[in-house]
Amino acid sequence: MRKRFSPDRMAKATADDGRRIFEQQSFRSALVVGLVVITVFSILWAMLSTLTNRIFPWMTIILGILIGLAIRRAGRGIDWRFPALAALLAIAGSLVSNVVVSAAFTARALETTTLAVLRAVTSMTWPVFFNEVMTPADAVYALTAAGVAAFYANRRLGRAEYLALRKFEAGSDRHQ
């Protein structure tokens, strides 16, 4: 039976393979997919909350997981920028999602649409939102979501891929 991590298998990893791994990264794709996840998740969370007449603050953590996994898949990132992007998008996404959910509940109380409530938001509305809707628990959930998103954001490399990337970095001029 062939060994999974045999020395001859590792020797096949080349700097060209590492270059391909490095060039597969796409920060733009990661950003776009992260914004799409936030938009879709906000809508679904608002629909679920109004349907059940309950707000589930732990859904923010699910948002963080989804953002991290989406950035991993679309961005294929291997450096620090992708976890940082995931963490920032998770915090922004938790804020946006909470705004959409509270707008959905306000719309129900005012017998109008969520979009009408969101269009009517002014600079006078934000202090009320942060005083009455956002709680310290929401901030804890948002920070937890940021940590989870950052954890899941980077591409997972196999041993051969990791070795190829290190060979590429050792032979490249990008660190000089």
End-to-end, the C-alpha distance of the chain in Å comes to 44
What distances in angstroms separate CA 75 from CA 38, 55, 83, 90, 121, one per listed residue?
Answer: 16, 31, 11, 16, 33
| Whole-number pLDDT of residue 67 | 98
In the prediction, which pLDDT does 176 show? 46
Boundaries of every domain in the chain:
16-169
Phi/psi region, residue 53 (left: phi>0; alpha: psi -120 to 50; beta: rest), is left
DSSP 55: -
Position 47: which residue type? Answer: M
| pLDDT of the chain, 176 residues: tens digit per residue | 566 655 555 557 787 888 888 888 999 999 999 999 999 999 999 999 999 999 888 999 999 999 999 999 999 989 899 999 999 999 999 999 999 998 998 898 899 998 999 898 888 888 888 888 888 899 999 999 999 999 999 988 888 888 888 888 888 755 54
pLDDT of residue 4: 62
Q: Which of these, 1, 167, 18, 15, lies nearest to 78 by C-alpha position? A: 18
State the burial class of residue 9 (Cβ atoms within 10 Å of its Cβ: 0-12, 13-18, 19+): middle
Which two structure tokens, joined as six digits, stand for 19? Answer: 């270059």
